Structure 1
């Protein structure tokens, strides 16, 4: 059993919002990848935007953890290669957690069973992350960034679109 929901930040309270396009992306992703157990769309500051998670996983907590991992991953990518972040794969005893950049200010996190076809997971999740980035960029209440930050005077740690 899963809980599919979209949230938006209003007066410091996470409340359900109706964004059927985001929910459709998450639901379709689950349908296309066997052994996918859940997914979360989170802002880069850890706020929950939408989720399709199984019972027992707290959506806001997962969004906050995603933001913490993103901060480390951005820094690691920048330090190691001087470039932006695209994705990070965590393989645990009981499954995978993969975080994909979804534009400038959000991410898509997918959870799967340990025996998932990782190639298929990437093949389906990467375009879903791009579609989510486009949906979020088109939303009227979301800030938009039109160009990549200047690299003069140092390397940018801002994420690049996947």
Structure 2
């Protein structure tokens, strides 16, 4: 039941922009809780990488006195990966196209993360 609601939030997020290619909610230990991923993406790999990067981002922000981590953004030549906390126990990961309008995606991801945090 809860996973259906999480998938609904992810589907709504993916529907807000054609630039969003994939999205997932991952526990902070790397387990996929819900996702809207293409068949070509491995859920386990996405989960493990997201948890590792967010953990490293948390540590970096803390060690370099940058305050509380808000998000991790990775830019590659074929697109973006955006990770943000969705409550204390989950991570929202979104993959976007290289020409994505990041300002709008940041706003939509922040709203979705809030909705996910309420569900968890």
TM band (smaller chain):
over 0.9
The separation in 2 between residues aligned to 1:97 and 1:133, in whole angstroms, is 20
Partner of 2:45: 61
The separation in 2 between residues aligned to 1:116 and 1:55, in whole angstroms, is 21
Q: Aligned to 1:97, which of 77, 81, 89?
A: 81
Partner of 1:108: 92
TM-score, scaled relative to structure 1:
0.71
Q: Give the ranges of 4+ consecutive aligned residues of structure 1 lying more than 4 Å apart after TM superposition.
A: none
The structure whose Rg is larger is 1
Q: Aligned to 1:24, which of 1, 5, 8?
A: 8
2:47 equivalent to 1:46: no
The separation in 1 between residues aligned to 2:23 and 2:4, in whole angstroms, is 15
Q: CA deviation at 1:40?
A: 1.0
Partner of 1:156: none
Structure 1: unaligned runs, 5 residues or longer: 1-16, 137-162
Q: CA deviation at 1:34?
A: 2.1
Q: Tell me which of the two structures has the higher relative contact order, counting C-alpha pairs closer than 8 angstroms and 6 or more residues apart.
A: 2
2:67 equivalent to 1:83: yes
Structure 2: unaligned runs, 5 residues or longer: none
The separation in 2 between residues aligned to 1:52 and 1:96, in whole angstroms, is 16
TM-score, scaled relative to structure 2:
0.95
Whether contact under 8 Å (2:26, 2:51) holds in the other structure is: yes
Indicate the RMSD between aligned Cα atoms, in angstroms: 1.2
Q: Higher helix fraction: Structure 1 or Structure 2?
A: 2
Q: CA deviation at 1:47?
A: 0.8
Partner of 1:145: none
Q: CA deviation at 1:82?
A: 5.3
The separation in 2 between residues aligned to 1:120 and 1:100, in whole angstroms, is 15
